[in-house]
Amino acid sequence: MKLDVKIPSVGESITEATISSWNKKTGDFVRANELLLLIETDKASVEVVAEKEGQLTISTEAGQTVPIGTVVGSIDTSATAGSGTGASATTTAAKDTNSTAKSSTPPPSGATTEAQFETQTHLSPAVQKIVTEKSLDPSLIKGTGKDGRLTKEDVSNSAAQKQTATTASAPQASAPTILTPVKAAKPASSPSAPFTQVARGISRQGEIERVPMNNIRRRTAERLVEAQHTAAILTTFNEIDMSRVIEVRNKYKDAFKEKYGNSLGFMGFFTKAVIEALRAFPAVNASIDGTDIVYKKYFNIGVAVGTEKGLIVPVVRDADLLSIAGIEQAIKHFAIKAREGRISIDDLSNGTFTISNGGVYGSLMSTPILNYPQVGILGMHKVEDRPMAINGKVEIRPMMYVALSYDHRIIDGKEAVSFLVKVKECVEAPERLLLEV
């Protein structure tokens, strides 16, 4: 019996997906729940696993964009493990042959154990991509992740070591010949000849590389243009004295990391400050539906994250119910999932307000674009020491510019400015976040 491998439905608004990569080849014997392929939608990457075991046949290769529900392969469930022709069948046979020896003989020092092998057979999409592109053998790489899993850094380092070894063993190419121009005799009265560069190697003029946008970047571009064409976007600015937050952070950062396992950053403070401001000005937490204003009674805060595939905005749900520590842990969790390509559609859905921290890249000031249909987005920027007038004296303070872009259709300038002032007040006096005032 043949079982169709279809592109699954991953959300109501998703109509197509791109096959990013196949984890198996035609002829491989696959087990139930084993990763078959990675698909990429306009919101996230999604793993597709085998429903049953059998021999795989691929009908649509990687790189193709197809509608949701398309059959891209099949699994012959009547096949047995020995009938596969791919690497999986060979590996399975080898494991069966050596199972007795493995059970009675301890592995030598540094060898990959059976448990480690099983862990490494299910690789994250980001890790699998590097393994495939660099032709690496994951069983030969020591994993530093949880339960010995391979991380992106593990395989990247292995690929770099492999490249270094290949380069070192390759014969050295002879040095290129440098051409020296010969000056031709010219009459003194003749006009100067146009300047011409002497080639020192191969000219790159006209050389280009054309790469199709992936679904995430393409959809992000569409939404940004949609926001610009639909909303009446304005931006207001303010600056925040970060002295108190930095003081609290420095005082408790070691104890915080020891208890929670991650660093204490600024995002937890700003998220709590934004929630207090949203409570005070509900229109900033709303959206427009036709001629209606929809006020959200919950606080789902999106945190913009830059990835290799483009900008994504994971959502911290019910952020008002979390402590600063809980928010920091949620953000770290999403950052890890984004880096490994495991962000799901659910992780990106139902945000009511967004925070974008360009300061981590060194941005001093920016005007963020709305994450439509949201009507507000806060832009954070880098902290920079600046001279400030404090009680009639000039003092050097760590300052941050902040920006609020908002939809002027439902948010007036007074509300927008007051919202940003509220955020400023809460961050400059962190105790207000504990008292929720």
Asked if 132 and 35 touch (Cβ cutoff 8 Å), the reply is no
CB contact set of 380 (below 8 Å; sequence gap of 6+): 266, 270, 355, 356, 357, 358, 359, 400, 402
Q: At what angle do helices 152-169 and 125-134 cross, to 10 degrees?
A: 10
Q: How far is CA 20 from CA 58, 180, 215, in A?
A: 14, 49, 10
Asked if 397 and 390 touch (Cβ cutoff 8 Å), the reply is yes
Q: How far is 113 from 120, CA to CA, in rounded Å?
A: 11
Q: At what angle do helices 324-339 and 243-260 cross, to 10 degrees?
A: 70
Catalytic residue among 4, 96, 137, 412: 412
Catalytic residue check, 229: no
- List beta partners, residue 3: 75
The amino acid that residue 403 corresponds to is: A
**What single-letter DSSP state applies at residue 292?**
E
The amino acid that residue 360 corresponds to is: V
By CB atoms closer than 10 A (0-12, 13-18, 19+), residue 291 is exposed
Instruction: Look up residue 313 and give its two tokens.
Output: 């905005």
Catalytic residue check, 412: yes
List alpha helices for 173-266, DSSP H.
Answer: 215-230, 243-260
Element (H, E) at 97: helix 87-104
Q: How far is 165 from 312, CA to CA, in rounded Å?
A: 36
Catalytic residue among 4, 137, 254, 408: 408
Which of the residues are catalytic?
A: 408, 412
